[in-house]
Amino acid sequence: MADYKHVKVPKEGEKIRIDDHMKLHVPDRPILPFIEGDGTGPDIWKASQHLFDETVRKVYGGKRKIEWMEVYAGEKSLSVYGPGEWLPDETLDAFKEYLVGIKGPLTTPVGKGIRSLNVALRQILDLYVCLRPVRWFTGVPSPVKNPSKVDMVIFRENTEDIYAGIEYAAGSPEAQKILDFIAKEFPKDFSKIRFGTEKASQEWQKKLESIGMSARPAPVQVGVGIKPISYLGSERLVHSALSYCIQHKRKSLTLVHKGNIMKYTEGSFRDWGFQVAKEMFGAVEIDGGPWCQIPAGKPGAGIVIKDSIADITLQQVLTRPEEFDVIATPNLNGDYLSDALAAQVGGIGIAPGGNINYLTGHAIFEATHGTAPKYANQDKVNPGSVVLSGVMMLNHLGWNEAADAIERALEKTIGAKTVTYDFARLMEGAKEVKCFEFAKLVAGAI
């Protein structure tokens, strides 16, 4: 066990373990690390933890109990560990040692400063799957006519694509080195960088001056990013998604990509996805391919593996949501899709998420929304995202009875129009309640 300075390990409870067959072994009193989060995080966590504890107590009659262990990241971490300690080593060690945990929303600086803490956790722990189930709960206000048709699960790749974080600021020596390399080694491709030379920049500036713009310097200012997508990264995501389809008896897997333009990154993701389906699951091509289907006699028989271009997918999940079931996609597409779909079923305030490495057993479930600092300490906001992320966590632990009980009670409470302010303002005849009160009502409905 790691030697922790500020993390207090519960005296009771045991670690979750994973065996050589990638099966989790969960004790009746597992120790689970949690980060309460910034902004509204403390309010949400207080309500959510109460609901989790009450549910487990009621469902299992005291035979099971979660032993919570607080770890730190974000603004609270600065007060505990000191300046600059946004993500202490102790926090990473705790998640590594205890495998499964949960977190509230964390501050994400924009433009400069520390990188996203959420992304850092995913990268350092190699949580390669961002799992985002999206479904509608009866009574939740929605901007679409038939939100009940939305029932999808997104497998978003979590470690590659633009989230690998390989990018360099415009005008920096690093960016210029890359531009110089491309110009030397791949001159034909370099010509596609519209303003990659001083000559091109100055020519455009002269055109602007010819129509009245004042003279100004026109240096080369090109930000450069690298978008890595690998076979192994794609393989493990698609394999996880298809395994999920089989386990949960889903009907199809759609590979969402922009391979018509980015042929050797996102196009390769699509091709590799079909390769995984055929070589690892025995899928056979339909009408000459590339779409394929797992045939009779094999696990997952009948599951169709298909593909869709990212931009048209964003339209079709709105106009024809029933045609989509499980989706596997590179990181950026998954970011857009998961939030767009969340809007159809009530918004990210009630959208759950999990970050998982199925091989090592590590998983962090999390709120998918921001910190909303203007509502901090008001006991006001909807705890639904963390609550439903906890439902995902309970299912991940195999505590399905507790997970199902929360979902049923949540739907019953929302159906009774007893909701937090975000839903109350959109529901006729609703009764607005505080964050913690809402959690108590859900717990009372179990």
Query: Nearest 5°: phi and psi at 366?
Result: -155, 155
Q: Which of 43, 325, 335, 379 is catalytic?
A: 335
SS (H, E, C) 3-20: CCCCCCCCCCCECCEECC
258 is known as an active-site residue:
yes
163 is known as an active-site residue:
yes
Residue 133 in 3-state DSSP?
strand
CA-based nearest residue to 364, from 95, 49, 124, 7: 95
Would you list the DSSP string of 288-351? TSSSEEPPTTSTTTT-EEEEEEHHHHHHHHHH-GGG--EEEE-HHHHHHHHHHHHHHTT-GGG-
Residue 154 in 3-state DSSP?
strand
CA dist 266 and 311 (Å) reads 13
Report yes or no: 353 and 376 within 8 Å, Cβ to Cβ: no
Q: What is the CA radius of gyration of the chain?
A: 24
CA-based nearest residue to 200, from 214, 221, 215, 185: 221
180 is known as an active-site residue:
no
Q: Which of 93, 126, 151, 311 is catalytic?
A: 311
Q: Which of 103, 227, 258, 380 is catalytic?
A: 258
Q: Which of 81, 98, 128, 163 is catalytic?
A: 163
- Structural tokens at position 112: 């400069």
CA dist 89 and 85 (Å) reads 9
335 is known as an active-site residue:
yes
- Interior/surface letters 353-382, b for 16+ CB within 10 angstroms, e for the rest: bbbbbbeebbbbbbbbbebbeebeeebbbb
Give the residue numbers annotated as catalytic, written as ranges: 163, 258, 311, 335
